[in-house]
Amino acid sequence: MKIRFLKLFLFVLILITSFSIVYAGYPVDGNGNCGPGPGVKVGDFCYDCSPQSDSVCPNDLVPNTCTDSNPDADCVFYVQCDERTPNACKLATQSNGENCQLCSECSGKQAISGNQCRLERSVCEYSYQIGKCGAECTVPGAQEQCPGGNSCTAPNTVGSCSNVCKGDYTCETSCVPTCSCAPGYLDTDGNPANGCETQIPSNCNDRSFLTCTFNNQCDWCKDCDNNQYSGGQSRCVDKGTCTRSCVLGQCTAECTSGQTQDSGVDYCSSGNINNQILGCGNDCKYSDGTAQDTLAQSCLNTCTETDNGQDFFYKGTVTDNNQCVSGSVCPSNNLVDVCNGGTLTEYYCSNNNAASVSQNCDVNSVNIDPATNTCSWSDGKCGDGACATTQGVVDCDAYLTGDFISSEAASSSCTLGCVGENCCKRTKKSNN
């Protein structure tokens, strides 16, 4: 009986001691919270946070017992915000009293930089990170971060492409390569989809018009170009070896290099008359400006006359020459002495220029000599470009009663009784 009582006593003692160890805490307050200091709430009891084991599970002092699915305030209290897991971020303030905030894992395709949990007063920082928040790459336009690519498949073509990072930070899945003809091949049908079907000969002489200028190694030498002849039919030749020249009878050439031709056109230049000379141009045609014109005539400023100045009794001509101002001939003016009624216009030279003066030729006179019974007379007229004076002596009786002598002579001399120029004729004298 004593042994049975002793065993029961020891059992109760151990049970009470265990309960006192397990439940070393205090009841929650009227609001169901632990306080005033941080503590772990288990049921209706609180256990103060302490670096010492509080014998409450989960126990932060035992490795691997604080987890995101079963957080312990006693654990979080001593952990800084940027070291906490997302589930434990806001369970308690830091030991210094500052609150923590939980930043979203993604902002669009940008992922949080660093720990999601950080001080409430700090800024959530984001960046593009491959494999997070839908970002497949971080540098738009770059090829290094995106796998895969394509190559040209058409015959005799070369070219390839790599998938690049697009503007939305995702990778291309099927880039389109830029294709070109492989060396020595040419696309002559204008359809690059079927490849480059024409192989280009290495020798220029073996190339056609379509392939001649490929790679700028050859020139297409036309038989005629700008009326110049290349010496044969159109052909492909080595670069820079095609030469042409003007050859009469070829390519409608009308002249050869160095040939000239008088155009038949004269013109005034610097006071003289020049011949327009045509030269053979680069187009194998005669043209102005390709040859030196020649002097056709020197225009002199001179004046000449045939009656030696102002000679009123001789019909003369003045020739007035001048330098040209325009036109195709040297200016020259011939001025002939001329009568207008009884007035003579006499031309003469003055300082290499023509001048004129007027002279009255109609001067008449009659003299009677009673001692000899004769009459002398002088009859002045303006005839053919000169003054003419007719003179004579006749019997006074005949003069007074007979005929009156007049003259149509054109010079200063008169022969009585003849017919024609320089002859006198008789006309009946009037009674009054």
> Token pair of 93, please?
């303030």
The SS3 assignment for 400 reads helix
Give the separation between CA 219 and CA 341, rounded to whole angstroms: 87
Is the omega angle on the peptide bond into residue 58 within 30 degrees of 0, that is, cis? yes
Sequence-distant (≥ 6) Cβ neighbours of residue 222 within 8 angstroms: 230, 234
The total of other beta-carbon atoms located within 10 Å of residue 334's CB is 10
pLDDT at 192: 79
Give the separation between CA 102 and CA 98, rounded to whole angstroms: 14
Q: Are 343 and 360 in contact (CB under 8 A)?
A: yes
pLDDT at 381: 85
Query: Which class for 278: exposed (0-12), middle (13-18), buried (19 or more C-beta within 10 A)?
Result: buried
pLDDT at 17: 40
Query: pTM for the complete prediction?
Result: 0.42
- Number of H helices and E strands in the chain, helices first, is 3, 34
CA distances, 47 to each of 53, 56, 186, 402, 420 (Å) = 10, 8, 88, 190, 175
Which of 219, 213, 163 has the alpha carbon at shortest distance from 186? Answer: 213
Return the amino acid letter for 409. A
Q: Are 179 and 158 in contact (CB under 8 A)?
A: yes
pLDDT at 287: 92
Q: Are 374 and 395 in contact (CB under 8 A)?
A: yes
Which of 334, 301, 333, 331 has the alpha carbon at shortest distance from 317? Answer: 334
Domain borders along the chain are: 26-128, 136-199, 260-297, 302-360, 364-428
Q: Are 60 and 74 in contact (CB under 8 A)?
A: yes
The SS3 assignment for 194 reads helix
Is the omega angle on the peptide bond into residue 36 within 30 degrees of 0, that is, cis? yes
- pLDDT tens per residue across all 432 residues of the chain: 545 555 555 555 444 444 433 445 678 788 877 666 556 666 677 666 555 555 554 454 444 555 555 555 455 666 778 877 787 788 777 767 788 899 999 999 999 998 899 998 889 999 999 999 999 999 999 988 998 888 999 999 999 999 999 999 999 988 889 899 998 898 888 887 889 988 999 999 999 998 899 889 999 999 999 999 999 999 999 999 999 999 999 999 999 999 999 999 999 999 999 999 999 999 999 998 878 999 999 999 999 999 888 988 889 999 999 999 999 999 999 999 999 988 999 999 999 999 999 999 887 766 666 666 666 666 778 888 888 877 666 555 444 444 444 433 333 344 444 444 444 433 333 333
Return the amino acid letter for 432. N
CA dihedral defined by 7, 9, 13, 14, rounded to 10 degrees? 10
pLDDT at 33: 75
pLDDT at 394: 55
Q: Are 357 and 379 in contact (CB under 8 A)?
A: no
* DSSP line for 154-197: STTEE-EEE--B-TTS-B-SS-----EEPTTEE--SS-GGG---
Give the separation between CA 384 and CA 337, rounded to whole angstroms: 9
pLDDT at 35: 65
* DSSP line for 292-333: --EEEE----EEEESS-SS-TTS--EEEEE---SSSSS--EE
Give the separation between CA 176 and CA 149, rounded to whole angstroms: 8
Q: Are 75 and 94 in contact (CB under 8 A)?
A: no
The SS3 assignment for 26 reads strand
Q: Are 47 and 56 in contact (CB under 8 A)?
A: yes
pLDDT at 18: 41
